[in-house]
Amino acid sequence: MDSKIGLIAQLNGVFLITILSLFLRRSLKLTALKYWTIAWLCLSFALISLRLAFDYTQLGSLLFTYYFLGEYIFGFMLIAGIRSLDSEQEMQPRTEMMIAPFLIIAVILPLLASDFNEILPIHFLIVAGFFAFAFYSARKSALRSFGWHVLHVALAMLAINFAGYFFVFTMRNAVPFANQILAYNSAVNLVLQTSLGFGMVIVLLEKVLADFQTANKRLQDAHKRLEELVHTDPLTAAFNRHAFYGFVRKGNEDGTTVAGCVGFFDIDGLKNINDCFGHSAGDAAIRVVVRSIRDIIRAEDLIYGWGGDEFFVIMVSMDAEMAETRMSRLENLLRSVKLDGVQEPMTIGVSWGFRDFTDIADLEKAISDADAEMYRRKRGRQTQSIDPANFVPTASRNIPTIDITQ
């Protein structure tokens, strides 16, 4: 193959990769892509300079300098892009200055000999060193994807290929078939550099996909935490009314049939605890009661904070009579309770009421009946201390009406 034709073919391949990098750069704001785009631009410039040097021999020294300079910057930016894959960090000014010795070599190298072939071994050795260091940097990366493997193999082959060029050009006088081998160097370079560009593109797309998946997971986690904050009472970690309305709405939308019982709980004398020991003690009492309720209900049962010291429980597939039996353990759990800020243990009283429901549509009536039962029980427990003038009938209590259809 004619060397000029091979060089033009190589230039076309590199130019296409450069165009692809420029288009990707418009959409993907990745540090590695920025460095690699510069690298391919420099390699295109280097090959154009080399091609022109064959036709304009009077400018050979200058054009060969441009060729060497473009290839060294290509190798430098290739390494910089690989090293930025994990951290997305920009090169520091001190690191950028490491290219300076290679710029000096690019200027001096064409002046060392009049025959271009005599200085090529040094150039090939330097380029092989760039590819070898890029290979080493890729191995240190945390990436182990398909694109990484393609990139990894291409870098290894390019390092071996240019090391081979160094050996052949150094020994060309002793190896008669060297010129036949080198006639295909542009074609070999085209295949390997195309593989390198292919691996780079895959790595970048895999990185974008990984970043998207990470961002999506963070968004889902944030959404989950936000839902928990919206639907959870911060004091007791019990569900709140928003969560209950969501439960009702989902049941209506799914058309599922749910049966069981509902129950209301109200702490007796919470105002006295707040007045005597402070609201921190009252909050501690609320937490103790909720924790005790959780101890006696099942894992699948749902407990909701209904406002203040009232709590609402849904026990699926359990009737009110069985639930009442379970609640007999609650009084034992709340005897001699130690609260923060209170020196002596105290017994916390809780009133409750349960009613059965056969479907989500029956929840409104079941809730109202359970609340009424709870208040009757509470009134019975406080008969000795209640002033009839201060008694608020159940019917006049401010119980929110639940719209089952929402």
Task: Give the C-alpha separation, 81 to 26, whole Å.
Answer: 17
Instruction: Tell me the two tokens of residue 49.
Output: 């300079």
Task: Kindly list the distances between the CA atom of residue 336 and the CA atoms of 111, 326, 333, in Å, as whole numbers in the listed order.
Answer: 97, 20, 8
276 inside domain = yes
What pLDDT is recorded for position 395? Answer: 38
Instruction: Tell me the two tokens of residue 362.
Output: 């029956």
What pLDDT is recorded for position 129? Answer: 96
What pLDDT is recorded for position 388? Answer: 36
Indicate whether 32 and 88 sit together in one domain: yes
101 inside domain = yes
Which of 190, 220, 250 marks a domain boundary? 220
Task: Give the C-alpha separation, 353 to 394, whole Å.
Answer: 13
Low-confidence ranges of the chain (pLDDT < 70): 1-3, 173-183, 228-231, 252, 255, 382-406
Burial 57-91 (b: 16+ CB within 10 A, else e): eeebeebbbbbbbbbbbbbbbbbbbbbbbeeeeeb
Indicate whether 201 and 91 sit together in one domain: yes
Indicate whether 31 and 134 sit together in one domain: yes
Among 133, 168, 239, 155, residue whose Cα is nearest residue 199: 155
Tell me the Cα Rg of the chain.
39
Indicate whether 38 and 133 sit together in one domain: yes
Contact 317, 351 (CB under 8 A): no
226 inside domain = no
What pLDDT is recorded for position 387? Answer: 41
What pLDDT is recorded for position 23? Answer: 93
116 inside domain = yes
Among 307, 293, 323, 314, residue whose Cα is nearest residue 246: 314
Contact 330, 374 (CB under 8 A): no
pLDDT in tens, 206-253: 988 988 898 999 999 888 877 766 667 777 778 877 777 777 777 767
Which residues have a Cβ under 8 Å from the Cβ of 266 and sit 6 or more positions away? 309, 310, 311, 350, 351, 352, 374, 375, 378
Show the DSSP H helices in 232-362 as ranges: 241-254, 270-277, 279-296, 320-333
Which residues have a Cβ under 8 Å from the Cβ of 196 and sit 6 or more positions away? 151, 154, 155, 158
Could you give the number of structural domains in the chain? Answer: 2
63 inside domain = yes
307 inside domain = yes
* pTM exceeds 0.85, yes or no: no
What pLDDT is recorded for position 386? Answer: 35
Task: Give the C-alpha separation, 268 to 351, whole Å.
Answer: 7
Instruction: Tell me the two tokens of residue 146.
Output: 């398909």
What pLDDT is recorded for position 406? Answer: 37
Indicate whether 143 and 194 sit together in one domain: yes
Task: Give the C-alpha separation, 71 to 189, whole Å.
Answer: 13
Give the domain range for residue 375.
241-396
What pLDDT is recorded for position 127? Answer: 95
Which of 191, 220, 249 marks a domain boundary? 220
Indicate whether 206 and 268 sit together in one domain: no
pLDDT in tens, 42-98: 999 999 999 899 888 888 889 999 999 999 999 999 999 999 988 888 888 888 899
Burial 384-401 (b: 16+ CB within 10 A, else e): eeeeeeeeeeeeeeebee
Indicate whether 178 and 84 sit together in one domain: yes
234 inside domain = no
For residue 209, give the CATH number of its domain.
Answer: 1.20.1070
Indicate whether 139 and 285 sit together in one domain: no
231 inside domain = no
Which of 159, 187, 220 marks a domain boundary? 220
Indicate whether 190 and 290 sit together in one domain: no
Indicate whether 170 and 288 sit together in one domain: no
349-357 sheet: strands from edge to edge? 302-307, 310-316, 260-268, 349-357
For residue 303, give the CATH number of its domain.
Answer: 3.30.70.270
Indicate whether 151 and 185 sit together in one domain: yes
Task: Give the C-alpha separation, 188 to 185, whole Å.
Answer: 5
